[in-house]
Structure 1
Amino acid sequence: MTHDLQQKGKLSEEETLKVESHYLRGTIQQSLADQVTGSISADDAKLLKFHGSYQQDDRDLRTERMRQKLEPAYMFMIRVRMPGGVCSPQQWLQLDELGRKYANNSLRITTRQTFQFHGVIKRHLKSVIAGINHALLNTIAACGDVNRNVVCHNNPYLSPIHATVYEWSKRLSDHFLPRTQAYHEIWLDQKKVVGTEPENEEPLYGKTYLPRKFKIGIAIPPSNDIDVFSQDLGLIAIAQDNQLLGFNVCVGGGMGMTHSEPETYPRLGDVIGFCTPEQLLEVAENIVKIQRDFGNRVDRKQARLKYTIDSRSVDWFKAELNHRLGWSLAPEQPYLFENNNDHFGWIKDSQGHWHLSLSLLSGRIRDTPDQSLMTGLREIAKIHKGDFRLTTNQNLMIANISRTNKPKIAALVKKYCLPLPEQFSAIQRDALSCVAFPTCGLAMAESERTLPGFLTRLEIAMEKAGLDKDEQITVRVTGCPNGCARPYISEIALVGKSLGRYNLYLGADFAGQRLNKLYRESLTEDEIITELTPIFAHYARERQKGEHFGDFVIRSGYVEAVRHGSEFHKPRPEKERITQNA
């Protein structure tokens, strides 16, 4: 698994750490037992990601604790592995209990269709992870240099093909799970099997696992709700007469980049062909193996699959894949995407069951003085006979509700003032944000905490410009350029540059099939509203019938269309830039 790219420089520290970790064991158990500090060692913190947790600290308290000569207020984020975002009512109740007992009385739905717990202190870390496993879920490989949570369309009851695709998300998830027993030894107190041969612990990943994280998602046209082109491996389900024919295979997507480093960039995946369902696991495994063998292990900023492909070419990748398979992918099949958002409200399926989709801003589930969201969902879980389904857009579906149970659940929704879609504008329903402050160590600016106020100001600006507040424009905010909320495929995106300042990006496609581009750099929230107001007015006056905002700003010359991620940072000649009064 050593190739030319790895010979050009010293391997990154993470690569050496993985080799010496004895398949992710490290000294995590010793770090957990150290009661002198609320943290774990730096090396163990890196290995902990493979187990589904990040070490963090409360950044709101940093300065004061430094003044008092105290260590940072260390805590941990824990992420659940939940392929397809499916959760039974009993699992919901168990996760709810863990959140209330150990994690700041909240749960959070992530943009990878799963739950995160925030604010867990070290002495509770093992209890929470064991509790998640007791709920017949786990956290292994929810983070780290492995295949992460596999996402797919969130409602398998809509049609037979939806159910089939969900089953494939589970099969892919299971197929790419790490095989090391370190997780079970550390968190579940299982004894190490005597005589286990270390080299056999990871037959797919090996001692060094993957160069960086790997993400898989399955979309079902015409909905691109999982942003399939942002995945390392995106699969577009192709069906005919409710029968799954196979998948278009899309490779090389990824959102992360670094400010002021143009060699890093977001990228949308390339469709390289079509495979049948029977071929899928073989195709997916060989794509992962190519990344395992050729991914950059010297520079982690260049280690995602998108850079592995761009450093050689798409044609090279296809040839390498065909060589490993011993056969070639078929030509891609036609497909059409219309949007990348969720559909809200009550939906009745062909079997007579009901599904209620709720809009949850930033995916945060907690009780507030205005809304007993966590309590209300807990009471619903006590009587619900179906399941809960999380979306990659941080929303929630209460799924598979029987006709007889619908009135009871509707009454609880009303009693606890749960967020029905008609209570929000389209801008609010479709908006995404990452966590950012105070917990994320990478955050440069606010995100989740600033989103509600920003959206309110944005709606006011839209109405003043002559636009209805229910105009569908995708808006995403992130506290740093790593792209957790997939900002670079949003029609309007704010990406944190420094405290209180953001880069403003415009021009993505409404269905998530085109990247946006930098419009203005390092703006305050006030300046962003000032910049967008005349553009909204221009859009209200001169848009064409059915024209989305992202298409309009490109047609009108505010930004150029980005054809490939390598063009994302390409500056536009000053003389060609449109003025805000155009």
Structure 2
Amino acid sequence: MTPKTTTTPDVDRSRDLSQPLEKLAPEERLKAGSDYLAGTIADDLIDEITLAVDENNNKLMKFHGIYQQDDRDLRDERRRQKLEPFFTFMLRGRMPGGVCTPEQWLKIDELGRTHGNDQFRLTTRQTFQFHYLVRTALREVMVGLRDVGLDGKAACGDVARTVMSGVHPGLSKLHKQVYEQARIASDHVIHKTSAYEEVWFGEKPKQPRGEDEEPFYGKQYMPRKFKIGFAVPPSNDIDIYSQDLGFVAIASRGKLKGFNVVIGGGMGRTDRAPETYPRLGDVIGYIEAKDLIPTLDAVMGVQRDYGDRVTRAHARFKYTIDDKGLDFVKGEIERRLGFELAPAKRFAFTSNGDQLGWTTGDDGLEHFTLFIESGRVINRGDRRLMDGLRAIAQTGTCVFRLTPNQSVILSDIQPEDRPAIEALLAEHGIDNTPTKGRSALRLNSMACVAMPTCGLAMAEAERYLPDLITKIEGLLEQNGLMEEPITIRMTGCPNGCARPYIAEIALTGRAPGKYNLYLGAGFHGQRLNKMVRENVGEDVILEVLGEALGRYAQEREDGERFGDFAIRAGIVPEVTEGRFFND
């Protein structure tokens, strides 16, 4: 049967969109009256009285890739001096599949040095972001990104976010086929409003924005953010089960045939709201590769029309599925497609980390995966990451591929160019050596930004996790576990930006120096973890981990992962459904 593509809004069946705007969440009213995300942002950009922007424009700017922030380290002192907070901005780019040309890397480096406090950051969604941008620099940064074919569209906001795609040092032909599908998907789901070009580049729309401005999203866009990713087994590096919509590549003899479809993943939750929880995505069937775009439209259309637009904390796709039922949602997707999904094909994941160091692809090209702790590209002492990666980009001999674990692959290197790259890595102290003292735990770690720039953070993450890992490494060394890969992730709040709830060890911030401690997730992201201690400090964290790691060293079975052991040993119960996460 010929699939039906829903590129225009389907019949409205939502209990929310049919209600008067005044009964919906304030954000819904803001979007509806924003002139398709233009608001009065352009006026705020030239305001000479304050460093900040209007709060409504702050919310709209997220759709343009921008968050207003203030330096938490300076907040109290500025308050004592009766000064407004030191407002700056974070700008996140859109980079489908994390693929970045040398020219683009050099521009990102230049903008980070000029406007971003001599640094930038690689994110857990395979893109980059700047911090510490002042408002008056935003247009210049946007223009700089445009000059190399980059933008901030949909990096934030209630739309489909930057689309992820599995990366692997081998970079097989299959990976390249899947990346191409991810790029096509990204271009398809991007919001279409001309407000972006008008606000940042002064390009006036050819005609007033009307109902055809956003043929899929409409005036109110999605109820909340919507995350899409493509995984290539056996690596689950993008954490497919954490995506609102995931596609697992199915191939035959190295050629892409189609995708298993995964729906309903999501990490965010609130500590004091037990009705919120992380959720793993469900595999609902298989599609041929040719049906990718209709499937994108059908799945997103269901969430657009049925998602909760009254209660923001309940607006993600995972709650729509649990409220309506998986069978109903799958049936509605199939109704919009015009055909039933085929049964899911067999696949298997074995890890969700990066394979560091050099590998050779099936095309004979060389690839080097460089560990970047917490994704921060900056010069620190003898480890001059920013300078070294700039020098490598200036050679023009490799493509940069950002990984979902905040590291970078220097890829597609001709064998004869490898010695020059190795020399530059060594010269700048960034060649992943020496390995002594660097545990496999550290190499499988992730952290969100948290303090001092994130307004939601309640505790440190990026600035604290390396020191905490050093102390945990003492426990690992005592138990002969330094080489044992264990995933550990830390966030400064429970929102889950570093995907903590699918890490074997996870910490989420509750207050300065206090964290919830979780154990027991699956090594390749197939199981949620469970809280073992609430609102505790470092002493308790190390005590609990010391006991658990000691037991693991003594009692584990051959090949048993730490998260699996925590379940078998009864340290925590197994959790596979988000609805039982808070029990």
TM-score, normalised on structure 2?
0.96
Aligned CA distance change for structure 1 residues 443 and 197 (closer, same or farther; 3 Å): closer
Q: Of the candidates 275, 278, 302, which is equivalent to residue 290 of structure 1? A: 302
Mapping 1:550-561, distance limit 5 Å: 550-561=563-574
Partner of 1:361: 373
**Partner Cα separation in structure 2 for residue 61 and residue 477 of structure 1:** 23
1:443 match: 457
Which residue pairs with 1:456 in the alignment?
470
What is the percent sequence identity of the aligned residues?
Answer: 50
Cα distance change, pair 402–298 in 1 and its aligned pair in 2 (3 A):
same
The counterpart of 2:249, out of the listed 237, 252, 257, is 237
1:355-374 C-alpha deviation (Å, 9 max, x unpaired): 00000000000111231110
What SS class does the counterpart of residue 200 from structure 1 fall into? coil
- Which residue type is aligned with residue 355 of structure 1? H
Which of 504, 510, 523 aligns to 2:517? It is 504
The aligned length equals 568
Alignment of 1:77-476 (within 5 A): 77-155=90-168, 158-194=171-207, 196-420=208-432, 423=435, 424-464=438-478, 466-476=479-489
DSSP 3-state at the match of 1:374 = helix
- Inter-CA distance 421–17: structure 2 relative to 1 (3 Å threshold): farther
Q: Deviations over 1:131-164 (max 9, x none)?
A: 1111111111110000001001125962221111
Q: Secondary structure at the match of 1:322?
A: helix
CA RMSD, Structure 1 to Structure 2 (Å):
1.2
Please state whether the residue corresponding to 2:211 is helix, strand or coil.
helix
Q: Counterpart of 1:577?
A: none
- Specify the alignment match of 1:4 in structure 2: 15
In 1: Cα distance, 2:46 partner to 2:581 partner: 47
Secondary structure of 1:169's partner? helix
Q: Compute the displacement of 1:351 (Å).
A: 2.0
One of 554, 570, 573 as aligned partner of 1:541: 554
How far apart are the structure 1 equivalents of 2:377 and 2:427? Answer: 17
Report SS of the residue matched to 2:547. Answer: helix
**Contact 1:23–1:180 (Cα < 8 Å) also in 2:** yes
Kept after mapping to 2: 8 A contact 1:436/1:478: yes
Give the CA deviation at 1:197.
4.9
Deviation at 1:2, TM superposition (A): 5.8
- CA distance in 1 between counterparts of 2:512 and 2:190 reads 38
State the match for 2:7 in structure 1.
none
Distance 2:167 2:556 in 1: 33
Give the alignment partner of residue 31 of structure 2, picking from 12, 18, 26: 18
CA distance in 1: counterparts of 2:519 and 2:480, whole angstroms: 18
Q: Which residue number corresponds to residue 3 of structure 2?
A: none
Stretches of structure 2 that go unaligned for 5 or more consecutive residues are 1-11
Is there any run of 5+ residues in structure 1 with no aligned partner, and where? 571-582
For normalisation by structure 1, the TM-score amounts to 0.96
Question: 1:108-135 deviations in whole A, cap 9, x for unaligned?
Answer: 0000000000000011011111111111
Matched, 1:58 2:71: yes
Aligned partners of 1:115 and 1:398: how far apart in 2?
A: 16
Q: Which amino acid aligns with 1:367?
A: N
Q: Deviations over 1:483-516 (max 9, x none)?
A: 0000000000001011110000000000100000
SS in 1 for 2:72: coil
Distance 2:315 2:182 in 1: 24
